[in-house]
A = this chain, B = another copy of it.
Amino acid sequence: MSAAILTIGTELTRGEIVNSNATWLAAELTEAGFTVTAIDTVADDQPAVVAAIGRLAGVARIVLVTGGLGPTTDDLTAAAVARAAGVDVVRDESSVLAIRRRVESRGGTMNAGHEKQADLPAGADVLPNSDGTAPGFAVHLGGSTVLCLPGVPREMKRMFLEQVLPRIRSHGESNTHQIVLRTYGLGESAVGLALDGVEAAYPGVTLGYRVHFPEVDVKVHARAAVQSKARELALRAAGEVGLRLGDVVHGEGDDTFPGIVGRALRGRGWRLALAESCTGGLLSHVLTSVAGASEYLVGGAVTYANSAKTRLLGVSEDTLRGHGAVSAEVAAEMAEGARRVCECDVAVGVTGIAGPTGGSDEKPVGLVFWSVAHPGGTVVRHRVFPGDRETVQIAATYAALDLLRRIASGLPER
Contact = CB atoms under 8 A, between A and B. Distances in A.
Contact of A38 (B41, B206, B391): B41
A185 interface: no
Contact of A192 (B72, B192, B301): B72
Interface stretch (A17-25, A234-242, A262-270): A17-25
A208 interface: yes
A133 B192 CA distance: 15
A113 interface: yes
Contacts of A22: 15, 19, 41
A281 B302 contact: yes
Contacts of A280: 284-285, 287-289, 293
Interface in A279-297: 279-285, 287-289, 291, 293-294, 297
Given A14-B36, A312-B301, A111 B282 contact: no
Given A112-B193, A114-B189, A357 B291 contact: yes
A70 B188 contact: yes
A207 B312 CA distance: 48
A-side interface size class: 35 or more
Contacts of A209: 16, 70, 72, 74
A22 B18 CA distance: 8
A133 B190 CA distance: 13
A14 B192 contact: no
A409 interface: no
B298 A308 contact: yes
A342 interface: yes
A144 interface: no
Given A113-B193, A308-B299, A15 B38 contact: no
A393 B291 CA distance: 12
Interface stretch (A26-34, A89-97, A316-324, A372-380): A26-34
A232 interface: no
Contacts of A13: 26, 30, 36-39
A106 interface: yes
A283 to B, nearest CB: 7
A390 B298 contact: no
A105 interface: yes
Nearest to A52: B38
A357 B211 CA distance: 31
Contacts of A119: none
B297 A274 contact: no
A389 B333 CA distance: 33
Given A38-B40, A43-B37, A113-B189, A305 B301 contact: no
Pairs of residues from A and B, 6 with the lowest C-beta to C-beta distance, nearest first: A280-B288, A281-B284, A15-B27, A299-B308, A15-B26, A113-B189
17 contacts: A13-B38, A15-B27, A38-B41, A38-B48, A106-B386, A111-B193, A112-B193, A113-B193, A284-B302, A291-B356, A294-B305, A299-B302, A299-B307, A307-B342, A308-B342, A311-B341, A311-B343
Interface of A: 10-20, 22-30, 36-45, 48, 52, 70-74, 105-106, 108, 111-114, 131, 133, 152, 154, 187-190, 192-193, 199, 206-211, 213, 219, 273-274, 276, 279-285, 287-289, 291, 293-294, 297-305, 307-309, 311-312, 341-343, 354-358, 386-387, 389-391, 393
Given A11-B208, A73-B199, 18 more contacts: A15-B24, A15-B29, A16-B209, A18-B18, A37-B48, A39-B40, A39-B42, A72-B207, A74-B209, A111-B193, A289-B393, A291-B356, A299-B307, A305-B342, A307-B342, A307-B343, A308-B342, A311-B342
